[in-house]
Amino acid sequence: MRKFKLQVQTSVDGYMAGPNGEMDWMTFPWTDDINAYIDALTEPVDCIVLGRKLAEGFIPAWASGPEGESQETIDWMNDTPKVVISNTLTESPWKNAVVAGGDLAETVNKLKAQPGGDLISYGGGTLVRDLIAEGLLDEIHLFVNPTAIGAGMPVFANLGAHQRLHLVTAQPFDCGITAMHFEPKSP
């Protein structure tokens, strides 16, 4: 069965965005060591899963070939098939993306049961919250930026119950970010 991974940037105090969606607190530029880590993380991935709101900015941003990104990364982001989780869209307005709605657990479990490589999600906030709360992720990769922002959109919101996690690795990088790889811990 395919693994489902979450990769998300977070502040040291656990927010993935500021109160109004700000992301100006993130650490850039990235160094070669963090790029190598991300290359290894995404190498087995052949499908990106996004929430609708994130997809609306994410897909067009990568399609425009963002400045400062390598052509290899731009190509991977654009060429990798995407599933947009949405109960409001009925069809995809984007190239190389399909829309999946309905029950989240059923949708994710169908994706995981399909043949292929791993799945990765980059968010958005509602999707991240629901994936964690419903225990649908096999790996959680938090890229902790060395900044506290005090308020915003938490990674772990409205869980309904404790989420026990096992720390697999914690890897600091030259740019100041630390990647923390967690896996859900069985009760």
pLDDT single digits (tens) 6-21: 999 999 999 999 999 8
pLDDT single digits (tens) 103-150: 999 999 999 999 999 999 997 889 999 999 999 999 999 999 999 999
Which pLDDT band, with edges at 50, 70 and 90, does 160 fall under? confident
CATH number of the domain within which 161 lies: 3.40.430.10
Q: What percent of the chain has pLDDT over 70?
A: 99
Supply the range of the domain harboring residue 176: 4-18+38-184
Within a domain: 141: yes
From the list 84, 10, 1, 22, the residue with the least C-alpha distance to 47 is: 84
Burial class (CB in 10 A: 0-12, 13-18, 19+), 186: exposed
Within a domain: 31: no
Domain count, the chain: 1
Within a domain: 28: no
Question: Integer distance in angstroms from the first to the last C-alpha of the chain?
Answer: 21
Complete DSSP assignment for 28-48: -SPPHHHHHHHHHHHTTEEEE
Within a domain: 105: yes
Whether the pLDDT of residue 28 is over 90: the answer is no
Within a domain: 24: no
From the list 12, 29, 17, the residue with the least C-alpha distance to 122 is: 17
Pair of tokens at residue 106: 């059923």
From the list 91, 107, 126, the residue with the least C-alpha distance to 21 is: 126
Burial class (CB in 10 A: 0-12, 13-18, 19+), 175: middle
Within a domain: 27: no
